[in-house]
Amino acid sequence: MTRGNVLITIAIVVFLLVSIWLYKQGKALMNYCYNINFHQSRFGIKGNVLTMKTVLEFGNQSNTDVHVNGYEFNLFINNKHISTIKDKGKQILKARSLSPFVIETNVDFRNLQKISVLQLASLMTPSDKDVIKCEGWVGVGLFGISIKKIPISVTFTTKELLSGSSESTPKCKIA
C-alpha cells in the first residue's frame, strides 16, 4: 500500500467515526426533558401588546454543548392560534445538564381577534382552564454545523405561569 492510499484510508475512517459520533449526538438531542421555570417566566400587558417570556430548563442529553440557531413556534391560547414566534437568536444548551432556554414573544392585541375581550381578561387571572401552548421547532447545531430541527411542544396554564412557582413536572420526549 502506498503512502497516499494509507492517508486516504485514514481520512475515510476519521470521516466515518466523526459522522457516527455526530449521528449519536443528534439522536441524544431527540431525548430531551424540560421544566418550565415559572419563577423566571413573565406574562403581562404593556399598552396594546401582550408580552410573554417563558424560561424552560432544557435538558441536553448529548455529550457536547449544543448551539441553538433559532426557533419557530406557533402560539395557542385555549387551542386558538394567536401568533407565530420566530427568532434567530443564539443560545447554548450545556452538555448533560439543564440549561435555561428563553422564548420571548410580543403579540399586538389587534392580532387577537380570535379571542374575546372576556377571554383575554381571564388570561390575567390564575386558572387551570386557560391553557397556553407553544408548538414548533428549535434549530440546533454542533461545531457550527446545523444538524437538526427538534420538534417542541410546551403547554402550561395561566395558574402555573402567574403563580411564579418554580416547580413543574418534567416533560420528556424519548425518540
Spacing of C-alpha 157 from chain mean position:
17
CATH code of the domain containing 143: 2.60.40.10
pLDDT of residue 100: 84
Please state, in angstroms and as integers, the Cα–Cα distance from residue 91 to each residue in 64, 152, 173, following that order. 14, 16, 21
Spacing of C-alpha 103 from chain mean position:
7
pLDDT of residue 127: 80
With beta carbons less than 8 A apart as the criterion, state whether 75 and 107 touch: yes
What is the tally of structural domains in the chain?
Answer: 1
Burial label for 168, CB within 10 Å (0-12, 13-18, 19+), is: middle
Higher-confidence position of 125 and 169: 125
- The per-residue pLDDT for range 40-95, each reduced to its tens digit, is 667 677 777 877 777 877 777 778 888 888 889 888 888 888 778 888 878 888 88
What range defines the domain where residue 126 resides?
A: 3-173
Residue 127, all three cell numbers: 386558572
Q: Kindly provide the residue ranges of all beta strands, DSSP E only, lying in the chain, ordered along the sequence.
A: 32-36, 42-46, 49-60, 66-77, 80-87, 91-93, 97-108, 131-142, 145-157, 171-173
Residue 22, all three cell numbers: 455526530
